[in-house]
Amino acid sequence: MINPRELWTTGLEIARSRAVHIALMLVIPYACVLVGLDVAAHYGDVTGAALPVQFFMSQDGSFAEFLEYALTSAAAVLLFVVWRRTRAMVYLTSAMLFVWMTLDNWGEVHEQLGFVFAADMPIFAAVPLHPNHLAETLVFGLIGLAWLAGMVAALRQADRRAAIHGVLIAMCIAGAAVFGVAVDMVTSWGEHTVRVTNLLAFIEDEGEFVMIIAMFALSVGIFDVEARRHGSDTRVYGGLRTTSA
């Protein structure tokens, strides 16, 4: 069983990676600009000063969405390469989820499925949610269960190092789900004033954005650590000599 100390030690090893530092130095300044634009957009919505829709972080075609596409797709590629090197299914399972997240974010898959399934869903008077919002949550739940089942199966086969990496990835994904699903449901639950709606939407968008950056940084760190480990093992193997040499 993996204990918290192992998670902390491995997390520190990844956090000390020079590749992670470089990646965050490139991403964080632009991310801060995007957060500032989102703050301005929400403030403008509350005060009646309309700003370009691209300033909103979760708006389709916004500046932030393009960065999210890049981060989730890059994380998928990095983890796929790690899987090719290690053959640990933990990395492939996570890479497939990041591919789904990229396609879903780009093609609005869960929103479209929400409207499709909402047509056949009954209206529950005790649940102050529009049927499409409830259907979207169910779609996310099904995807989450499928990923969780695959991750559990992969963790059982993984060595201890890959298993710890898998748990760290799962923690980031769980954090993203809290903001992307749970807070989204709170935002859609019943009627809110414009200010409350904007506040909840801001918490949802920024929280999910931070978790996506964390998932990307974690993927970079895992890739870097495993690449250096793989290179070290190769050099040691290449330096061996048989007794007949």
Beta strands in the chain (DSSP E): none
Torsion of CA 61, 180, 150, 82, to 10 degrees: 60
Of the segments 54-68, 82-96, 113-127, 230-244, which one has the largest average pLDDT value? 82-96
Torsion of CA 111, 115, 121, 122, to 10 degrees: 100
Determine how many CB atoms are found less than 10 A away from the CB of residue 27.
18
Q: Are 61 and 54 in contact (CB under 8 A)?
A: yes
Q: Please state which of the ranges 30-39, 44-53, 63-72 shows the lowest mean pLDDT.
A: 44-53
Q: Give 244's pLDDT tier (boundaries 50, 70, 90).
A: very low
Q: Give 119's pLDDT tier (boundaries 50, 70, 90).
A: low
Q: Give 242's pLDDT tier (boundaries 50, 70, 90).
A: very low
Encode pLDDT of 145-194 as tens digits. 888 899 999 998 889 999 999 999 999 999 988 887 778 777 777 677 88
Cα distance between residue 80 and residue 95, in whole Å: 6
190: left (phi over 0), alpha (psi -120 to 50) or beta: left
Share of the chain above pLDDT 70, in %: 82
Write down the pTM of the prediction: 0.83
pLDDT at 229 over 90: no
Distances (CA, A) of 100 to 105, 129, 146, 165, 217: 8, 25, 12, 20, 18
Mean pLDDT score of the chain, rounded to an integer? 83
Asked whether the CA dihedral 7, 12, 15, 19 is positive or negative, the reply is negative
pLDDT at 245: 37
pLDDT at 72 over 90: yes
pLDDT at 142: 83
| Exposure b/e, 16-25, CB count within 10 A at least 16 = b | ebebbeebbe
Q: Give 232's pLDDT tier (boundaries 50, 70, 90).
A: low
| Exposure b/e, 124-154, CB count within 10 A at least 16 = b | eeeeebebbbbbbbbbbeebeeebeebbeeb
Asked whether the CA dihedral 225, 3, 76, 220 is positive or negative, the reply is negative
pLDDT at 194: 81
Q: Please state which of the ranges 129-138, 153-162, 193-202 shows the lowest mean pLDDT.
A: 129-138
